[in-house]
Amino acid sequence: MELLVEQSLNGARQRNLLRSMLNAKVFKFGDFTLKSGQKSPIYIDLRECFGYADLLGLASDGLKSLIEKADTPFSAIVGVPYGALPHATLVSYKSAKPLIIVRKEAKAHGTKKLVEGLYKKGDKVIIIEDVVTTGGSIRECVDILREEGLVVEHVFCLLDREQGGVEKLKEHGITLHSLLNMEIVQTFLLSVGAINDETSANIISALNLPYKEVKHLQVASEMENLASFPLHNLGRLPLEERAKQATCPLNKKIFSLMLKKNSNLCLAIDYTESEKVLQLAEKAAPFVVAIKVHADAITDFSADFTSKLVRLANDHEFIIFEDRKFGDTGNTNLLQLKGSQRIAEWADVVT
């Protein structure tokens, strides 16, 4: 519940997700008969999400963040057919993990598989579901996966209806993680004026929810600009995940070196003689990710020096960092990089 009013990127994402769901008419009000036979003044139709790309993006971002927060290792993502498949597909793509699909019934032709995807016995997988009521469909899915030799311990869902699913799944050896629950949804709807106190009380009573009332919170109905929130509120991802998500080749190389050397050290060598620079670089090379030099301060700078430095960098795997502090116009900086010291030819990074 704290996330609903938290001034952070994840808090804003949750509020924007709920706002988008409200605008997409995911929350329907009236007299409904649910699958369980219960009468309800609210019906939450998550399949309305499919018509809105931005809404699907918010949902998958939220689920991905929820998975990262759980910090549980997994080899693949399983989508429960059929409502969760779009969400599972997007999270699979954004997490760079394989997608596994469990069919409701085996094909009568072809491979006749019930479980489709890339996996092997002993792999640990997570399940993504759109909505959880009692957890019956999840338990069926888990049984099928376990028969295939897969390890299943965690389920991540968009919405927990808070009608016993957590407890029933726990009995099955499954931990349920939910992005939203009925209390969060009701609190949001009440706070933005989408429902009143009477409707809120009727929902709690009709669905026999595990709380007596919800509070009015200071939540605006307007969408928030996510770009205005600092990225550090996301928390730090493991280096392995940051390396996978990096798109810049240099960043990928730096993450790779940090993991391989178990180091994040950058050594600044401020000697003015090239031989001293090379001697210290050779001693430190196995332990550092980068070595920083000041080429313009080296009195006997030469092409031979940079050739030897590059050879050391290739042999011992480190980044060469030239701390020139360029501060002129773009074109002048370009001329300096290609100038007499040919910095662009041997330095990986310049300031």
| Rounded-to-integer distance, Cα 65 and Cα 90, Å | 13
Predicted structure pTM score: 0.66
Q: Determine the pLDDT at residue 170.
A: 92
Q: Determine the pLDDT at residue 128.
A: 95
Q: Determine the pLDDT at residue 108.
A: 56
CATH topology of 2-235 equal to that of 244-350? no
Domain boundary assignment for the chain:
2-235, 244-350
| Rounded-to-integer distance, Cα 115 and Cα 177, Å | 23
45, 97, 261, 323: the catalytic one is 323
3-class secondary structure per residue, the chain: CHHHCCCCHHHHHHHHHHHHHHHCCCEEEEEEECCCCCEEEEEECHHHHHHCHHHHHHHHHHHHHHHHHHCCCCCEEEECCCCCHHHHHHHHHHHCCCEEEECCCCCCCCCCCCEECCCCCCCEEEEEEEEECCCHHHHHHHHHHHHCCCEEEEEEEEEECCCCHHHHHHHCCCEEEEEEEHHHHHHHHHHCCCCCHHHHHHHHHHCCCCCCCCCCCCCCCCCCCHHHCCHHHHCCCCHHHHHHHCCCHHHHHHHHHHHHHCCCCEEEECCCCHHHHHHHHHHHHHHCCEEEECHHHCCCCCHHHHHHHHHHHHHHCCEEEECCCCCCCHHHHHHHHCCCCCHHHHCCEEC
Q: Determine the pLDDT at residue 234.
A: 44
Told to judge if 325 belongs to the known catalytic residues of this protein, a careful annotator would answer: yes
Divide the 351 residues of the chain into consecutive groups of 10 and give the mean pLDDT of each group. Answer: 82 93 94 79 91 94 91 91 91 92 67 80 94 87 92 95 90 94 94 92 88 87 84 60 77 90 92 92 93 89 91 92 81 79 87 83
CA nearest to 23, candidates 1, 62, 54:
54
What is the CATH class of 2-235?
Answer: alpha beta
121, 325, 338, 348: the catalytic one is 325
Q: Determine the pLDDT at residue 344.
A: 86
| Rounded-to-integer distance, Cα 59 and Cα 67, Å | 12
Told to judge if 143 belongs to the known catalytic residues of this protein, a careful annotator would answer: no
CA nearest to 145, candidates 114, 107, 173:
114
Q: Which CATH superfamily is domain 244-350 in?
A: Aldolase class I (3.20.20.70)
Q: Determine the pLDDT at residue 103.
A: 78
| Rounded-to-integer distance, Cα 337 and Cα 331, Å | 10
25, 276, 328, 338: the catalytic one is 328
Q: Determine the pLDDT at residue 22.
A: 95
Q: What are phi and psi of 180, to 5 degrees?
A: -135, 155
Question: Are the CB atoms for 44 and 51 separated by under 8 Å?
Answer: no
